[in-house]
Amino acid sequence: MVRVTDMTHGRPIRLILLFSLPLMLGSVFQQLYTIVDTIIIGRGVGMQALASIGAADWINWLVLWGLQGFTQGFAILAAQEFGAGAYDRLRRVLAMIVKLSCWFGIAVTIISLLLVRPLLTLLHTDPAVFGGAQTYLYVQFGGSLIIIAYNMAAAVLRCLGDSRTPLFAIIAASFANIALDLLFVMGFGWGIFGASFATVLAQLIAFLLCLRSLRRLPFVQLTKADWKTDPAILLHLCRLGIPTGLQMSMITLGGMVLQSVLNGFGVVFVAGYTAANKLYGILESASVAFGYAMTAYMGQNRGARNAARIDAGIRAVLVLSAEFTAAIVTAMLVAGKSLLGLFLSTEEAGAADALAVAYQYLMVLMAFLFALFMLQAYRSSLQGLGEMTVPTLSGFAEMLMRMGAALVLPTFIGQSGVFFAEGAAWVCAAALNLVWYYMRIGKIKRDMLK
């Protein structure tokens, strides 16, 4: 049974937490895609192969986060129409989301495949890992249509208040990914290609499960008339989706400069940095989930013109963010080094040095974690309310801060200076969104009451 959640009624803190918990679990399982790849590649193929995937990470995220941003932006309008109870218009919006997603997916597939080699060259990728990174990216980008299809279906379900179906889809896909990894990498000996191909097939499974759930919702049964191209809706979707996609892509551009700096530090350093990033991918799940929850919460309440619930929502997510930050930091202080050891073979030369790099980087990330929670809360709230300009500009600021820190800090404090690039970017972007939120929220609420 597909369950959607009306977030215009009920205690905000309970709604946000219950909505976020499945998203957190889903995000954890989604990260298992890459973590299983990393463990199998790192232990089954070798540290050089692990560094190959690390060298490809930011280029891969450039496309992946861009696609996620587009679809999340598109789904904001669906949340607003759902909150308003305008189901006829909601169906037309969903049809246009599908059209736009297909167009974007085709364009991204072609462009990204053409840019793989130039981007790896631009980032000064070590020749020892260039071939492996190229293989990984070709497979990932070849599956861009599958990736955008899954993210589109999951984003729509989330904005309709259904956070459980994406969870079940990701759990099923994660187990499939593990089985396919073992088959392709260990069984067939396909190495990096096999791990990357398994991830794409797992995304396809997740999409099909989300699609099945969407088709069961009675108020989103699309008719032939719904598919008629509506320029006004397409334009509105572009105004929401393109800024969000650009914001996410700009964040990764800064990361690509960071990757270029990292590539000059050698395979051992890159392997340690990659291992910490894989673990961080799980740890950020709570902040990402709260962000998705606030997009749905603010979008639905804006559509329902329920201004009284806006302040209660932001207070609730800040309380939850503080509690989760404390729990995560404590857990990493206790078990962080042991968890990082899962990604590196202790028998391989340089593994101890790579583990030391990974743990130092993880501790720096923990010092800035609450800033990440604040960034997700305020940026997603603004986006759910239809405020796209400053969230997009904050992505640009995040890019510049990440680039600047990566280029400048190693000059003064050595290689470990790159560890502070993420935290500096989070603090800068969070401050921009926080200030703009409180500057604009009064007018937004007055407009909702008109």
Closest by alpha carbon to 139, among 28, 35, 63? 63
Tell me the per-residue pLDDT of 221-274, one tens digit each, with 9 for 90 and over: 888 888 999 999 999 999 888 888 887 777 777 777 887 788 788 888 888 888
Read off the tokens for 433: 């969104």
d(C-alpha 69, C-alpha 101), whole Å: 11
d(C-alpha 365, C-alpha 270), whole Å: 16
Give the pLDDT confidence score for residue 34 in this predicted structure: 65
**Is the pLDDT higher at 308 or at 423?**
423
Read off the tokens for 327: 């729990």
Mean pLDDT for the stretch of residues 114-129: 88
CB within 8 A of 266, min separation 6: which ones?
Answer: 126
d(C-alpha 328, C-alpha 324), whole Å: 6
Query: Which pLDDT band, with edges at 50, 70 and 90, does 449 fall under?
Result: confident
Is 2 a residue whose pLDDT tops 80?
A: no
The reported pTM is 0.77
CB 294 within 8 A of CB 374: no
Tell me the per-residue pLDDT of 19-45, one tens digit each, with 9 for 90 and over: 888 888 877 776 766 666 677 777 767
CB within 8 A of 394, min separation 6: which ones?
Answer: 247, 375, 379, 428, 429, 432, 433
Give the position of tokens 């096999």.
Answer: 194
**Is the pLDDT higher at 115 or at 349?**
115
d(C-alpha 116, C-alpha 138), whole Å: 7
d(C-alpha 308, C-alpha 226), whole Å: 33
Query: Which pLDDT band, with edges at 50, 70 and 90, does 425 fall under?
Result: very high
Mean pLDDT for the stretch of residues 179-204: 87
The single-letter code of the amino acid at 88 is D
**Is the pLDDT higher at 220 or at 385?**
385
- Domain edges within the chain: 12-448
d(C-alpha 377, C-alpha 51), whole Å: 33
Helices 369-384, 308-340: axis angle to 10 degrees equals 140
Mean pLDDT for the stretch of residues 100-124: 91
* Average predicted confidence (pLDDT) for the chain: 87
Give the pLDDT confidence score for residue 1 in this predicted structure: 43
Give the pLDDT confidence score for residue 346 in this predicted structure: 64
Range among 2-6, 335-339, 341-345 with highest mean pLDDT value: 335-339
| DSSP structure class, residue 266 | -
Give the pLDDT confidence score for residue 66 in this predicted structure: 86
Query: Which pLDDT band, with edges at 50, 70 and 90, does 3 fall under?
Result: low
pLDDT cut 90: percent of the chain above it: 35
CB within 8 A of 118, min separation 6: which ones?
Answer: none
